[in-house]
Structure 1
Amino acid sequence: MRDVFEVLEQLYKKVLLGATLENDNQDYVFCLSPAFSDGAGSPVTSSKCTSTLGAQGKRQPSPVSLSISVAPVCLKSDARDITLLQLTVIKVMLTRVLSAETEFPAKEKYREIIQVLLLSSDFESKLMCMFQNADKLLSHMAAKCLASLQYFQLRDKITLSNSWIAFCQKNLSEYSDKVVYCLWTLTAVMKEIYKDTCSQKTEILKQFLTLFDTIFEVFYNSLFSQHFENPQETYKIVNSLICFLELLELLIASRIHLDLHFTCQRILFLKPACVLDVVTWPVEAFVKRRVIVFLKKCLLWTAGEDLFRGAAPAVAPPSRHLDVDTLALADAVLQAVDLGLLRTLSVHRKPACFGGEVQPGREQGPGPDHVTLRAASLLIIKSLEIKFQNCASAKEMKVHLQRFMSELLTFLKPHLEPSGPLHNPCEWLSRVFIEQDDDMLEAAKASMGVYLKLAREYEAAESLTQETEVWNHHTHENGYNPHCIFLFFLKNVGFDSTVLLDFLISSETCFLEYFVRYLKLLHRDWAMFFSICRYFDVTECNDSINIRGGITSLVQGRSSHHTESRPVAAVAWHGNAHACVSWASDASSESLNQVVVSQESHATPQTSSQPSPQAPHGLVDYDTSDDSEVESTDPCLAKSKQTPLHQEAMKKVRSAVGTSRHQRELSLELQPRPVGPKDSSTPSSVDREMTPNSIVCEVGTSHRTMKCFEELQGAISRLQNKNLFPYNPTALLKLLKQTEIICNKSMNPL
């Protein structure tokens, strides 16, 4: 038994190095034939193995033949180790066959050995029998090995064995105990197809899905109609559900990126209520979270985006069926919310422990499950955006928006209050997504889409000018005013232009598309933007008064450079209509005359007299192509233009934006100047005399925003001049320049 293990170990080392094997194929087949013929682990009678390998995996001067008989009575642990090593060697050999780095002679030898193994009538049957083995490691390795074999056959255009197809169809249709391993193996095969870089990827996947298209739909209907009669059944259903959700995500991803059309790829969109019903199941909270995150990915068309090696393939062109399916899923989500989805969804976080087990006596972690909060929030706001794209009536959209956003804000309120009261409903977005940039920008883009759609409908009906105050009230009351959302975002990043530059260069978020849309909106809606900026200033000063009045002794004991109090808006969480209307209306002279600028007192990290802190460079590798246009708002196009390149490009960019000289340029202090319409209420006065009744505030929000834009414009121009920007920023620079012109005109109308 020991000799067999040593021979296999020598073979493993040679295959791992990609060395060419010299012996007859049949000798290696004998060595690699699984030692177990049944699920209990009973050893086979005998096998013969001829070895020409030395201790270090090198060829000996003369071959040494080892005839090894496996004793009928042997320790199961020894047989287990041999079987695990056999499966490992087969798995590595398959990896070597599919690798472009393996030399051709060695690759052909490995391929011949695998083909001889497959000709054995019981080889794959032995692997399938191991699925039921009590040893979980053994069953897992058998599933991995079988999945690699299936992909090898698909890649080499070898017909899959009837025994494997029958095994899958039987277990998926009957929902047996082996269904989890069947799902896992099918998922592993699809992952291998995705990760491969061969040009026949679409054809391979088509061949695979043709065999299982019908049975996937049967299993979908069977799984989501299960009944929870006992704890053992619940455990089995949960395991099957988790495995199937991963497979379902791969099926949807294949529809997004590859030109394929199978029923199993659309089954979620044809019957979305089945998956949404899982939230009402008597299962653990992590299962419901998994479902919500899965649905969010499907709605954003980001399913399976992390499965590709290198750059992900382009998204398939939009089609009528794709739009119909997306709308069906969005409608199902909103209908579920209307029926109480959020009231059923649990977001109470539990302490995470290795293996999913909670240590006895360990206290529950504070706060909610923010992953669930983010996924549910983005799912709803994105569903509303999709719904409104297919809705013609402004009145109908307004009713839908008010109902669903009220439901969402009510759901979020108790989970956000521990970190401070939420005075402005528009602040919900930055508070919920503060730790997840990509989801935050997707939510901001979706809320802007809702705003723009409603604005167009109001303008078409010529009612926007007649109902300005009602419109403003509605945007703030329901938390989707784009100016508020953008300003809260800027506050979160400290008005730091280097953070915006990082977002623009990176392809990990949709910031480019969102930023371009917002700049275009800002040009048309400058008066509203400046009005909101003034109220941000007033509110910060009022908060400063309240804080200094309530904890004067505490403030006196602190240095002036500590973090400022959290800025909030002037609207209460459930304020009356007049309060919401006044938020968006012109500021009163009495309130705004209190706003004064000081560079000597009450300094904060966001004061313009201090350079902005340098953001960490989370940049991705990119090329120097300049053939794209930022004006395009297609997220797929924007991402496809930001492709990775060499490490040298990264060094050049870091040198361009991170050296001390350029960093000084990016953070160069501007002289304080009023930004916005020139009227009596502009926050431009400077009061250097400290009196008990004076209010000292930092530079106004509009000034900091324009300074951030100016620094960003300069940084982009420098990178463009050095051919270091990953796409052509001409259109973006044009928008930033137009913003500066509009700002200057508002300051000097004559």
Structure 2
Amino acid sequence: MKAFFEVLEQLYKKVLFGATLESDSHNYIIYLNPAFSDQDCSTTASSECSDTLGVQGKCQPSSLSVATISVAPVCLKRCPEMSSARETVLLQLTVIKVMVTRILSVETEFHAKEKYREIIKILLKSSDVDSKLTCMFQNSDKLLCHMAAKCLALLLYFQLREKITLNNSWISFCQKNLSEYSESDKVVYCLWTLTAVIKEIFKDTCSQKTEILKQFLTPFHTLFEVFYNSLFSQHFENHKDTSKIINSLICFLELLELLIASRIHLKLHFTCQRILFLKPSCVLDVITWPVPAFVKRKFIIFIKKCLLQKVGEDLCRGSVLAFVLPDRRLDVDLLALADAVLQAVDLGLLTTLSVHGKPSCFGGGAVQPGRERVPGPDHVVLRAASLLIIKSLEIKFQNCASANQMKVDLQRFMSELLTFLKPHLQPSLQSHSHCEWLSRVFIEQDDDMLEAAKASLGIYLKLTRECEATESLTQEKEMWNHHTHENGYNPHCIFLFLLKNIGFDSTVLLDFLISSETCFLEYFVRYLKLLQKDWDNFFTICKYFDVTESKDSINICGCIFSLVQDKSSNQTGPSPLAALGSHRNAHAWVSWASDAASEPVNQVVISEETHVTPQANSLSPTRASQSLVDYDSSDDSEVESTDQSLSSGEQTSLYQEAMKKIQDTVGTSRNKKELSLELQSRPLVPKESNTPFSVDCDIAPNNIVSEVGISYRTVKCFEELQGAIYRLQKKNLFPYNPTALLKLLKHIDAIYNKNMNRL
């Protein structure tokens, strides 16, 4: 047996490095055919070689020539005298898995790949390896079961790629376990294997993905619905061993996500891909079960991804069509899911969520000795629940024509959401600034924040259009504005809070526009179009922000003055800095207070340490495919205007080139100064006053507030963004055509100048 193991070990080394095998393919089968007993592997293999393979003559393992390769020793755990049968089987499965991986890899040399392909085909045809691997699922050794499942999944995908008929024994095994729910571990490994095969289909670069997946799902698609009903009809509290049903839930949830993703990205239509949308209450009910918090978190995140059509996003990235055509049937299913979510919220879904769970820590959840865990809510659940409601409302309103019904639903569900959020937001939301909930909840997750902002803007635009068609908003303007603020969906407030969180930094907006990780381009364009038509309302809200900040500055300066007194008199007691923590922009105002005496107003930089810098290291074709057209062509093209397709390859190359040189263009301090001087040489807004604020914290005169207030800082941010985009465009570094975007920004500048000239 020792000699058998050593030869197998050398075979593993050669396959690992993609070396070509010299001996006859049949000779390798004896080393790859898994042995299940603890008897000597050589005896088992020899008998199987002569009885099963039908090779003429006696099989002699020692005669197989496998050249020794001088590589680092493989870390294999074995006894001094001989390896156990378990270790031998594990090594056999590893060699099979690596060999199939080498066949699927484009980096493997052609002749080596053909030899591996021939060996695997002989193994599948002659040794019934599929049945042997499924038998391993009944083994109590978890590592052996896991390796068997991984190996089987690759072998199944290999058969699909090579158009080899799948083994009937494996199909029967899956059909038997899926026909009714069972707590046995065989169900979990069956689900895991199905999931692994579909993942391989997604990851492959071949053009026949849809046909391969159709062939694979055909024997099972009716059974998935049966298993779905059986699994979610369980009474969790009645199970003695709850770990098994939890494992089944998690495994089936992953499989369900891939089925929905295949419907969206591979355009395959099976009933099993719609079971969530046909019976969404089954999945939503799991959130109300007495299951652990992490299970509820997985389910609510899964539903959120379904509503956002982001299921399977990680697998599909870089491997799907750049432009996904609209699917009317999918829209109907999403509406059914959104209705089910809102109905569940009506029945008290939010009260069942565990928000006070242990916060996640980098490297694990354990707290080091001597340190206390900082209490706090589970922000992942808060974000997911918030996005569930706001996105469900948007989807429902897209299919609703009654303005009164939309107002009633919006008020009811937003009130429910804000009531749910308020205890977990510190400091608490003020009654006059409910719109701040969005930036406060999503400050740590920019992609979800922009999805929520876009959904909120969509609700506002839809409701505005319906109200304008049935009633006069000018007569009820005050009541209408009150409704938008009370329910936290005023688009101007939401956008201004976003700008405040990033310190009115145009480079952050530029990162958002260049990055493919968020929907900022679509949101920003739609908001700019709204801003052109609703400038007066925007300016009124800006003045309210200015008054609020002036009041906050008085309180901040009072705290600073008190701090100086305490420091000079060496008084003991609570530090006044504790009071600063209750203000969102405390650090910004402290910086202002210390520098205002020596610097003019136009040199004071108000920044936020908490702003989120978007990741821009990956290009998702579904996001990157958005290009810009003439946004002024129609008022009804708010959504369609950013859905025009660009070539995915061209977009990717432009994006990568831009990211390589972006820092040299606008990222360094030297070029930022140059850009600032360039923009100041051709100002699009009135020149700032050089009069500094008084350090005694008196409220600034009205003319200064109007020039350096929120509206000015917003337009100044747009002006800097416009300059940065222009510079990148001149050097062909911007990843898409920004002409229409520059046109919108320039129009905002013109509106601002026109209104300032009236004052």
**TM-score interval (norm. to shorter):** 0.7 to 0.9
Partner of 2:267 in structure 1? 259
| 2:596 maps to 1:601 | yes
Partner of 1:80 in structure 2? 86
For residues 234 and 42 of structure 1, what CA distance do their matches in structure 2 show? 40
Q: Tell me if the contact between 2:4 and 2:41 (Cα under 8 Å) persists in the aligned partners.
A: no
Partner of 1:205 in structure 2? 213
Once the two structures are superposed, what CA deviation does each residue of 1:109-152 show, in whole Å capped at 9, x if it has no partner? 11111111111353212111111222211111100000000100
Q: How does 1:635-650 map to 2 (within 5 A)?
A: 637=644, 643-645=651-653, 648-650=657-659
Quote the offset at 1:485 in angstroms.
Answer: 0.4
| 2:354 maps to 1:346 | yes
For residues 674 and 657 of structure 1, what CA distance do their matches in structure 2 show? 20
In structure 1, what residue type is equivalent to 2:22? Answer: E
In structure 1, what residue type is equivalent to 2:191? Answer: L
Residues 145 and 607 from structure 1, CA distance in 2 versus in 1: closer, same or farther, beyond 3 angstroms? farther
Quote the offset at 1:311 in angstroms.
Answer: 5.1
Quote the offset at 1:196 in angstroms.
Answer: 0.1
Residues 43 and 118 from structure 1, CA distance in 2 versus in 1: closer, same or farther, beyond 3 angstroms? same
**SS of equivalent to 1:94:** helix
Q: How does 1:288-687 map to 2 (within 5 A)?
A: 288-308=296-316, 310=318, 312-314=320-322, 316-350=324-358, 352=360, 365-417=374-426, 424-549=433-558, 552-554=561-563, 601=596, 608-610=603-605, 618-620=615-617, 628-629=628-629, 631=631, 633-634=639-640, 637=644, 643-645=651-653, 648-668=657-677
For residues 627 and 421 of structure 2, what CA distance do their matches in structure 1 show? 43
For residues 133 and 509 of structure 1, what CA distance do their matches in structure 2 show? 45
For residues 332 and 262 of structure 1, what CA distance do their matches in structure 2 show? 22
Residues 501 and 638 from structure 1, CA distance in 2 versus in 1: closer, same or farther, beyond 3 angstroms? farther
Once the two structures are superposed, what CA deviation does each residue of 1:207-231 show, in whole Å capped at 9, x if it has no partner? 1121211011111111100123545
| 2:222 maps to 1:227 | no
Residues 692 and 566 from structure 1, CA distance in 2 versus in 1: closer, same or farther, beyond 3 angstroms? closer
For residues 670 and 444 of structure 2, what CA distance do their matches in structure 1 show? 31
Partner of 1:744 in structure 2? 753
Q: Tell me if the contact between 1:674 and 1:703 (Cα under 8 Å) persists in the aligned partners.
A: no
In structure 2, what residue type is equivalent to 1:47? Answer: A
Quote the offset at 1:534 in angstroms.
Answer: 0.9
Quote the offset at 1:187 in angstroms.
Answer: 0.2
Partner of 2:250 in structure 1? 242
Residues 675 and 652 from structure 1, CA distance in 2 versus in 1: closer, same or farther, beyond 3 angstroms? closer
For residues 549 and 598 of structure 2, what CA distance do their matches in structure 1 show? 13
For residues 490 and 525 of structure 2, what CA distance do their matches in structure 1 show? 17
Once the two structures are superposed, what CA deviation does each residue of 1:646-678 show, in whole Å capped at 9, x if it has no partner? 8554322222122344221344585999979x9
For residues 741 and 271 of structure 2, what CA distance do their matches in structure 1 show? 42
**SS of equivalent to 2:219:** helix
Q: Tell me if the contact between 1:289 and 1:372 (Cα under 8 Å) persists in the aligned partners.
A: yes
Q: Tell me if the contact between 2:596 and 2:604 (Cα under 8 Å) persists in the aligned partners.
A: no
Once the two structures are superposed, what CA deviation does each residue of 1:535-567 show, in whole Å capped at 9, x if it has no partner? 1111011112233345632266799x9998776
The structure 1 residue matched to 2:226, chosen from 213, 218, 242, is: 218
Quote the offset at 1:386 in angstroms.
Answer: 0.5
Which stretch of the first structure deviates more once superposed, 450-459 or 540-549?
540-549
Partner of 1:282 in structure 2? 290
Q: Tell me if the contact between 1:545 and 1:695 (Cα under 8 Å) persists in the aligned partners.
A: no
Once the two structures are superposed, what CA deviation does each residue of 1:30-50 show, in whole Å capped at 9, x if it has no partner? 00111226xx99978422424
Q: Tell me if the contact between 1:93 and 1:110 (Cα under 8 Å) persists in the aligned partners.
A: yes
Q: Tell me if the contact between 2:133 and 2:148 (Cα under 8 Å) persists in the aligned partners.
A: yes
Q: Tell me if the contact between 1:513 and 1:638 (Cα under 8 Å) persists in the aligned partners.
A: no
Partner of 2:55 in structure 1? none
Q: Tell me if the contact between 1:299 and 1:379 (Cα under 8 Å) persists in the aligned partners.
A: yes
Residues 494 and 231 from structure 1, CA distance in 2 versus in 1: closer, same or farther, beyond 3 angstroms? same
**SS of equivalent to 1:52:** coil
**SS of equivalent to 2:164:** coil
Partner of 1:164 in structure 2? 170
Residues 11 and 370 from structure 1, CA distance in 2 versus in 1: closer, same or farther, beyond 3 angstroms? same
> Normalising by the residue count of structure 2, what TM-score does the alignment of the two structures yield?
0.84
More helix by share: 2
> Normalising by the residue count of structure 1, what TM-score does the alignment of the two structures yield?
0.85
Residues 353 and 528 from structure 1, CA distance in 2 versus in 1: closer, same or farther, beyond 3 angstroms? closer
In structure 2, what residue type is equivalent to 1:609? Answer: V
Q: Tell me if the contact between 1:195 and 1:309 (Cα under 8 Å) persists in the aligned partners.
A: no
For residues 462 and 618 of structure 1, what CA distance do their matches in structure 2 show? 44
Partner of 2:121 in structure 1? 115
For residues 445 and 601 of structure 2, what CA distance do their matches in structure 1 show? 22
**SS of equivalent to 1:124:** helix
Quote the offset at 1:419 in angstroms.
Answer: 7.0
The structure 1 residue matched to 2:96, chosen from 68, 76, 90, is: 90
The structure 2 residue matched to 1:145, chosen from 123, 148, 151, is: 151
For residues 431 and 667 of structure 1, what CA distance do their matches in structure 2 show? 31
Which stretch of the first structure deviates more once superposed, 195-204 or 611-620?
611-620
Q: Tell me if the contact between 2:666 and 2:724 (Cα under 8 Å) persists in the aligned partners.
A: yes
Q: Tell me if the contact between 1:21 and 1:106 (Cα under 8 Å) persists in the aligned partners.
A: yes
For residues 412 and 403 of structure 1, what CA distance do their matches in structure 2 show? 15
Quote the offset at 1:313 in angstroms.
Answer: 2.6
Q: Percent identity?
A: 68
In structure 2, what residue type is equivalent to 1:54? Answer: A
Partner of 2:29 in structure 1? 29
Listed as ranges, the gaps of 5+ residues in structure 1 are 59-72, 570-596
Q: Tell me if the contact between 2:484 and 2:490 (Cα under 8 Å) persists in the aligned partners.
A: yes
Partner of 2:45 in structure 1? 47
Residues 299 and 670 from structure 1, CA distance in 2 versus in 1: closer, same or farther, beyond 3 angstroms? same
C-alpha RMSD over aligned residues: 3.7
Partner of 2:51 in structure 1? none
For residues 214 and 53 of structure 1, what CA distance do their matches in structure 2 show? 47
Residues 489 and 567 from structure 1, CA distance in 2 versus in 1: closer, same or farther, beyond 3 angstroms? farther
Once the two structures are superposed, what CA deviation does each residue of 1:148-191 show, in whole Å capped at 9, x if it has no partner? 00100111111101011101010111323110000000000000
**SS of equivalent to 2:425:** helix
Partner of 2:54 in structure 1? none
Quote the offset at 1:16 in angstroms.
Answer: 1.4
Counting matched residue pairs gives 701
Q: Tell me if the contact between 2:8 and 2:31 (Cα under 8 Å) persists in the aligned partners.
A: yes
For residues 324 and 265 of structure 2, what CA distance do their matches in structure 1 show? 5
Partner of 1:19 in structure 2? 19
**SS of equivalent to 2:64:** strand
For residues 599 and 344 of structure 2, what CA distance do their matches in structure 1 show? 45
Residues 639 and 248 from structure 1, CA distance in 2 versus in 1: closer, same or farther, beyond 3 angstroms? farther
In structure 2, what residue type is equivalent to 1:142? Answer: A
Once the two structures are superposed, what CA deviation does each residue of 1:272-296 show, in whole Å capped at 9, x if it has no partner? 0000001111110110110000000
Which stretch of the first structure deviates more once superposed, 707-716 or 417-426?
417-426
Residues 566 and 705 from structure 1, CA distance in 2 versus in 1: closer, same or farther, beyond 3 angstroms? farther
Residues 485 and 602 from structure 1, CA distance in 2 versus in 1: closer, same or farther, beyond 3 angstroms? farther
Partner of 1:583 in structure 2? none
For residues 330 and 270 of structure 1, what CA distance do their matches in structure 2 show? 12
Which stretch of the first structure deviates more once superposed, 729-738 or 652-661?
652-661
**SS of equivalent to 2:84:** helix
